[in-house]
Amino acid sequence: MGFDDGWYSVRRDTMHQTTRILPSSHESLGAVDNGDAFVLDAGFIIDPKHLFVGPKIGEGAHAKVYEGKYGLQRVAVKILQPAGAPEDRAKLKAGFIREVAMLSRVKHRNLVKFIGACKEPLMVIVTELMEGKSLKKYMLGMRPKLLDMRSSVCFALDIAKAMDCLHVNGIIHRDLKPDNLLLTADQKTVKLVDFGLAREETLTEMMTAETGTYRWMAPELYSTVTLRHGEKKHYNHKVDVYSFAIVLWELLTNRMPFEGMSNLQAAYAAAFKNVRPSVSENIHKDLVFILQSCWAEDPDVRPSFAQVVRMLTAFLCTLPDPEKNCIDLEKRSVETTAPESAVATRADVAVNDHTCTKTSEKGNSSTDADTPVGNSKSMFQCFANCFLSRYC
């Protein structure tokens, strides 16, 4: 069904200030037995009538991402694809709830900005539109040329700060890789995206193994029976530290990790033979230490991201920079990194783009200024009245 084959009417309940999204499984948000529900603040509720969908810019197993407009703001629109079987629909809904809950909880200059979501008539997540390429496409475009050392380390520092913010808030990303790292328009800053596989970390949680992308996955994510899908295993936030090491290696070498191996061969080699990407003599010894510490076989040996941030900041100070000095870098590191001992709370925290925070309970409500004036669709299709016709 095309964009113009029918119309879809969407009504919003203006009597309630929040929308309750009920979890469908224990793994989604927890405490389901007590009847708890995730409550999305009214400021983050997307009004489909003001959402316009344009060209597709990405696609995954369960969702498609489009360039779009929300009011007058250019955005990225992630639309989860309708599932057929009831069991698949339940899993899709649980994943949607998890992702929205985590996106709405944290804010950091190196995390993609969450704008809002709606659950009906389709599950949609709206974030800021990243004008630059993915880190993967950026590096592919440069091969076989290497990134300059300062750019590599600055990108790695951006990634480490984003991950530190997640870990301070008890979130494991589980799918850290260049595809999920996007550049700003000036290609000077990296932001982390895609919380579809992220989970909250608890001391007793049993999480699914073999989650993520094989070449970047930590060895402990694999089951004792080679890559048996769906087995439950204990692991913690240090799986992200291993993935970071592989990404850092890519930034320094601009090569594919585990070259010459299939995805499964790479997974097996890392998990059962302790194989790691080769480290050339051209890589500085301080960076070699960070690499080898982060991809250590024993998760307890791997550093925290707060420690990684400090090590990278110290190394960056040894590199010439025409624009900044070491004092500026050290100050920025302190400002942008939450202390390891920080405990996330539900209280409102002042929002600062340079600081890892939880978003305000008041959110960012849409104003009249955000409402489209006249016919502003141009290349975009009205989500509520046009785009939905292909699904509904």
Structure tokens at 108: 């950091």
Cα separation, 158 vs 165, in Å, equals: 11
78 is in an annotated binding site: yes
Cα separation, 163 vs 385, in Å, equals: 38
Q: Which residue has the tokens 């499964």?
A: 264
Neighbours of 73 (CB within 10 A): 14
Q: 195 vs 78, 106, 176, CA distance in Å?
A: 12, 12, 10
Nearest partner of 216 among 233, 239, 193, judged by Cα: 239
Cα separation, 182 vs 193, in Å, equals: 7
Q: 64 vs 78, 197, 200, 277, 381, CA distance in Å?
A: 6, 15, 24, 32, 15
Q: Is the peptide bond before 121 cis (omega within 30 degrees of 0)?
A: yes
DSSP 242: H
Angle of the 149-168 helix axis to the 305-316 helix axis, nearest 10: 160
DSSP 114: E
The residues with which 77 forms a beta bridge, in sequence order, are 66, 126
Nearest partner of 155 among 128, 176, 175, 174, judged by Cα: 176
Q: What string of DSSP letters covers 308-345?
A: HHHHHHHHHTTS--SS--HHHHHHHHHHHS--TT----
The active-site residue out of 175, 300, 348, 353 is: 175
Mark whether 298 is an active-site residue: no
Nearest partner of 372 among 390, 384, 388, 387, judged by Cα: 384
Active site members: 175
Annotated binding residues for ATP = 78
